Structure 1
């Protein structure tokens, strides 16, 4: 592992100041070439950073649902926790390389706080894609990395890490050539700068200097880009870091936590914490000591908005591993799918509360569960996703947290609506899920409610919004003929085949959205779930798909 030192101490606007206390360690490299069949990286939440170096062939990948057709001579960047899928065809001798690596924030000896810095993965400073100025040089470096990393000689393994640092240097150089004068890239850099230096005193004047613009211009640009001021963003980020410390089983004093996240005045910190979260910090700490179990998979997305990471949840659900990584819940109990076994697991775990869903659990099983701990089974069909969260909040005495979350959600949905209005205009939108060889139009009680109700995008005139989903044939899609399509494609082989058959049909090719190239994709999980947390993810995804895109 080799640490990158500060490249230019006199230039605070350099993106690479983020690397001053960061280390990069290559974990694994794989070279895929001359394949007789198509290569595929199955849909997965990745645990480490990943480079996909596209040296040859054709292919595509999705990053958190964003579909990208890859180009030869490019590198694609995936960060831990992202949902990634990729495929390639026609790979020659050059093929493609997959490099998995870690970024580790070093301990800063200059820090005098009594609280240790939070450990964990850092985001790579470049987003999504780098177009290479010299693909040949990068390919040669990848060849050397592969050769030396696979050696039994420890010195050669060490040399592979040196080649990896050289590869990073070339990637940073290529990115700098493209983005050094890009206003959006500068704002992203400043946001990352705040996240790296949140423990320090940061003023608008200082941040504007980092951005290289006047304070007045910086204030306007940041608010337009992110929907809040830079100081508001910094405060939310600091409180988020404080919450992470509070979730640890530690004896940190509140005064120490406040100082660690940049608030020397702990009284001001308490006031700011309540303003942002809706509850005082002492209440938050007390709440996090409660052991709350999610009996059904959808309960996870209902509890997270209430600042609750379930201590137990169904182990056969994709979300379970995801929030273990994202929220640091390493000790989460993975519940068995068999009711009798699950019941025994909960009995031994002795939870404070259990949250389930009424129509997913038999009346008899609900009675058994209520003997283990106070339990609430959400009335699923009688209420919408907002009411689900509110009912759980009332049961757990967390109404203030729910109110705060919904205020932030409404503010965010208004901001996203403003950001995409020049792209969407008066376009109609149809949301289609491909499952096996069937095609369903999504309506109520699905993520389509985010598009139609929160973002006020118009559905086609003939769609029945009151139906959760409506099965259609390719021929029937012509009846709706929306301006835009969002496709949710299940990742099993039957669904992939069903998608291929749909694309080959004449009915599909004649659709207005297909002819105009206005098709976007979301993976099945986690976006398909009808929960508060996943609907907020949809807002983030919409912003990536349609902000300022004609």
Structure 2
């Protein structure tokens, strides 16, 4: 055991750190440094081998080899051995003092009296990996210097001070980085709220408390776009909504999104989208939906052409093949629920009590006819293949989503249009975007840590999901803006299918800070085999306790209710101390 002293400048005096003890964390030492489970002093725990669970009052943490945790005086904790390999830890115990010149002391040429008061170091918790490694090297050097002259002992103290300084600096940089991100996000929110007004870069910079040039630099670094490029994208996005789902004139749409000149608006729109506003509107609906009869005639036949509708919406009977999620979110209870071979939307059970199942395997059109639907919506064009679209159309007006509903916002608007419930759809989207923003804000806690998602399929295959679209990429990388791991970027990014098959050997080399796991119901036995493989158990993300199993039926679909549940999963897993997000439908 060694002792040492070191100090650093601090506003109002000097922070003075006194190392009181270092060494192997034996049971005897553990009982001394954590009497009754509370740290006596500042305590650094470094894991050299094995795996430990640090049980704390706030939330547990898993420590694996080369990870390091700093406890503050009085903090309650218990260290439990969790690994197959024997746990071996080292500890550094130290005091922190604030040293100040005694008030009124103006001594010159003599020794000034000082006042020392206990202080708390402004850093705690899990330390960055490079700092943990540096602490390990510092402790190794301490053993090597045993018995050396006083100079080396002094230099060793200075080195410890340097490590504390780096901890402090890292905390400040993370806080400043978080504050910058929040300032940029606030200006984006200003754009979202005020896109219909004239907004300048100078006004946005002032709101962010930056100079215009510095604001543009930080904005580009954080978003990949200039502020004005972002504002243009926001305006064009809102213009697209009106072009598709309103009968407003082009001049009115241009003015509503902040353009005083409709011709300039048209040039900007074509530059961003590639076609003129009118051409975009003409192509869009036909591009996404096959119809069995003209849309206006269908609305008239249902009494929905008027605004508000001529008859109450409730009695209208709808069959939606895998669009039940969107129907429920828009206040419609379908008259049948679709099921596949092994896929059931069990997360919707609470909303579909008493609703009969209809199987995609049998395609029993008699059951559809018996349900007496007013309209039928096919969630994917494949459901209407092989002449089935005409069979559906004989029963009721039928709409088939050509390429499926691959994003919650797109799905809400398309289904909202087919039900003549666009105001409700827009209100739902607006509220969901607020919840999404809350989720993004809470997830800033994890900084640049990376995430990935794998799926264990029922055919003994493993899929690594990519992005930015797809079942998981849409929520993780596109909507939440989380950072994909290098493995995701190299192997699965931009795949047309949204994923890439991987062998177990590739899975066991996966590098990511957090891993989401989806297991198909029929893939459970294969997963049980994989989970017992040494390659899986030795994965750093598994040893760190950062692998989270999430539900198959929620993460392998695109509905907006499912999307909200994915947000809840992501925030709860990645930030255990997070606030609970609201559900999308109150039961």
Category of TM-score, reference length = shorter chain: 0.3 to 0.5
TM-score (normalised: structure 1): 0.44
| Structure having the higher Rg | 2
